């Protein structure tokens, strides 16, 4: 798919052709057996189909151009290398900053994850026709503005990689907000693994992978019906293999000594899963990591999380002071929920009540609302 996109510079055509080729493969392979190089077979078949399609639509000049590209392709030494390279190119195309983050997520899931339009639509909470329209518009922009299929040059790489890493993280989060969307989480992890393999020198990519693995490790202990606080999770249900892998990556990142926001977030999660119980959590370490994260990305949400760590190391009163210095989260339910929790710890119950009520009013989903109402009645705290 990525190979074809590069050859033809036309994602719709490449996409259709690959789908055609897969359909042919499904018919032929059971009869003739699987060819020695299935990926190469798909590419060749899809390429022939794309040329057929261009002939049919009378796109002569494109055919000529495609023929030139084909001879380049034939000259490439191996089948595996270019395919990997092409995946990387396609990731950078799908996550190009000239596209909106929603477009970036949709294209990545559709073209790299291989999800159907309907699956992408459900994953990103929109209707199939709306998603189809979005994808057509995004592909049109790629073509019209000539967003290239290329690994960015060295000077642009940090910014462009940030965009790729954040798209994968957004895809994972969409699958984490609703645990039923296993497919989104799985795709994000698969793509992060591939990216880490293809760009072994990029520490933030490894940080992202570790972050996703450490989050995924705790999914079995989370309820599908309501948010499950870390302190309420049965640690016996955590996936030890994923934790071990994630923590090993975090250790490797620390050795690289080129910290970035995703690596620090992964390190924070690594500390969270380290203790045998919530009481064993090393909050001092977490506090220091949040200080580092805040220095790199001074956003209100990071400040909120930092305040929560401070409540564990320096107490609720200091944390509340920090919290009240944060601006821009007035509409964020968890800001008010955190405030309510801190106020209750300080025995300021009336104010806590007000904070939780505000949080309930702002809750984005029914699940969140129910959970916060349970906090309001004081059953969980």
Q: CB of 292 within 8 A of CB of 266?
A: no
Using DSSP, state whether 365 is helix, strand or coil: coil
Q: CB of 99 within 8 A of CB of 131?
A: no
Distance of closest approach, residue 169 Cβ to another protein, in angstroms: 23
> For another protein, which is the closer residue by CB, 93 or 311?
93
Kindly tell me which residue out of 148, 220, 227, 300 binds another protein, with binding defined by CB under 8 A.
Answer: 148
Distance of closest approach, residue 97 Cβ to another protein, in angstroms: 8
Distance of closest approach, residue 96 Cβ to another protein, in angstroms: 8
Q: Give Cα separations from 91 to 78, 79, 191, 277, 351 (angstroms).
A: 21, 19, 9, 39, 48
> For another protein, which is the closer residue by CB, 115 or 161?
161
User: Quick one: which of 123, 138, 127, 132 has its CA closest to 176?
Assistant: 123
Distance of closest approach, residue 10 Cβ to another protein, in angstroms: 14
CA–CA dist 285, 309 (Å, integer): 9
Distance of closest approach, residue 94 Cβ to another protein, in angstroms: 14
Q: Residue 150 interacts with another protein (CB under 8 A)? A: yes
> For another protein, which is the closer residue by CB, 101 or 114?
101
Q: Which residues contact 284 (CB under 8 A, 6 or more apart)?
A: 313
Q: Residue 147 interacts with another protein (CB under 8 A)? A: yes
Please provide the DSSP assignment of 70-129 as one string: HHHHHH-S-SHHHHHHHHHHHHHHHT-TTS-HHHHHHHIIIIIS---HHHHHHHTTS-HH
Instruction: Give 151's DSSP letter.
Output: P
CA–CA dist 271, 280 (Å, integer): 10
User: Quick one: which of 200, 201, 203, 205 has its CA closest to 189?
Assistant: 205
> For another protein, which is the closer residue by CB, 157 or 219?
157
> For another protein, which is the closer residue by CB, 96 or 185?
96
Q: Which residues contact 52 (CB under 8 A, 6 or more apart)?
A: none
> For another protein, which is the closer residue by CB, 145 or 254?
145
Kindly tell me which residue out of 52, 64, 156, 330 binds another protein, with binding defined by CB under 8 A.
Answer: 156
Distance of closest approach, residue 155 Cβ to another protein, in angstroms: 9
Distance of closest approach, residue 38 Cβ to another protein, in angstroms: 32
> For another protein, which is the closer residue by CB, 56 or 146?
146
Site track 249-278 with another protein (rule: CB under 8 A), x = hit: ------------------------------
Q: Give Cα separations from 187 to 175, 246, 286 (angstroms).
A: 9, 17, 29
Q: CB of 150 within 8 A of CB of 89?
A: yes
Residues in contact with another protein, total (CB under 8 A)? Answer: 10
> For another protein, which is the closer residue by CB, 8 or 283?
8
Site track 117-146 with another protein (rule: CB under 8 A), x = hit: ---------------------------xxx
Kindly tell me which residue out of 40, 152, 220, 300 binds another protein, with binding defined by CB under 8 A.
Answer: 152
CA–CA dist 220, 162 (Å, integer): 29
Q: Residue 27 interacts with another protein (CB under 8 A)? A: no
Please provide the DSSP assignment of 212-272 as one string: HHHHHHTGGGS-SSS---GGGS-GGGS-HHHHHHHHHHHHHHHHHT---HHHHHHHHHHHH
User: Quick one: which of 297, 298, 294, 296 has its CA closest to 286?
Assistant: 294
CA–CA dist 46, 324 (Å, integer): 59
> For another protein, which is the closer residue by CB, 140 or 197?
140
Q: Residue 67 interacts with another protein (CB under 8 A)? A: no
Distance of closest approach, residue 18 Cβ to another protein, in angstroms: 23
Residues 80-109 interacting with another protein (rule: CB under 8 A): 96, 98
Q: Which stretch binds another protein (CB under 8 A): 50-58, 150-158, 271-279, 315-323?
A: 150-158
Using CB under 8 A as the criterion, which residues of the chain lie in contact with another protein when the complex forms? 96, 98, 144-148, 150, 152, 156
């Amino acid at each position: 798919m990525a190979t074809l996109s590069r050859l033809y510079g036309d994602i719709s055509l490449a996409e259709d052709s690959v789908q055609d080729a897969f359909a042919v493969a499904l018919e032929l392979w059971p009869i003739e057996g699987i060819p020695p190089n299935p990926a190469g077979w798909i590419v060749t078949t899809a390429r022939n189909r794309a040329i057929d399609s261009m002939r049919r639509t009378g796109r002569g000049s494109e055919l000529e151009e495609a023929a030139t590209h084909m001879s380049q392709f034939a000259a490439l030494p191996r089948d595996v290398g270019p395919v990997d390279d092409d995946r990387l190119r396609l990731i950078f195309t799908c996550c190009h900053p000239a596209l909106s983050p929603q477009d970036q997520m949709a294209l990545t899931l559709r073209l790299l994850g291989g999800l159907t339009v309907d699956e992408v639509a459900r994953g990103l909470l929109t209707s199939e026709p709306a998603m189809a329209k979005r994808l057509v518009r995004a592909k049109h922009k790629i073509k019209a503005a000539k967003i290239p299929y290329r690994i960015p040059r060295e000077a642009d790489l940090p910014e462009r990689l940030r965009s790729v890493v954040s798209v994968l993280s957004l895809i994972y989060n969409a699958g984490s907000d609703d645990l039923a969307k296993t497919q989104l989480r799985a795709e994000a992890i698969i793509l992060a693994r591939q990216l880490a393999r293809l760009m072994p020198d990029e520490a933030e990519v490894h940080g992202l992978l570790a972050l996703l693995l450490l989050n995924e490790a705790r999914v079995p202990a989370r309820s599908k019906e309501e948010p499950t606080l870390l302190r309420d999770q049965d640690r016996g249900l955590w996936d030890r293999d994923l934790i071990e892998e994630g923590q090993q990556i975090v250790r490797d990142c620390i050795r690289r000594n080129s910290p970035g926001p995703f690596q620090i977030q992964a390190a924070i999660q690594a500390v969270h899963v380290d203790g045998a119980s919530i009481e064993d959590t090393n909050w001092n370490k977490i506090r220091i990591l949040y200080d580092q994260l805040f220095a790199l990305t001074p956003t209100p949400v990071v400040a909120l999380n930092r305040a929560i760590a401070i409540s564990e190391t320096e107490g609720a009163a200091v944390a509340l002071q920090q919290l009240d210095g944060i601006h821009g989260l007035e509409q964020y339910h968890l800001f008010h929920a955190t405030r309510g929790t801190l106020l209750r710890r300080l025995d300021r119950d009336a104010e806590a009540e007000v904070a939780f009520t505000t949080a309930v009013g702002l809750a984005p989903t029914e699940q969140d609302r129910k959970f916060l109402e349970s906090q309001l009645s004081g059953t969980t705290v």
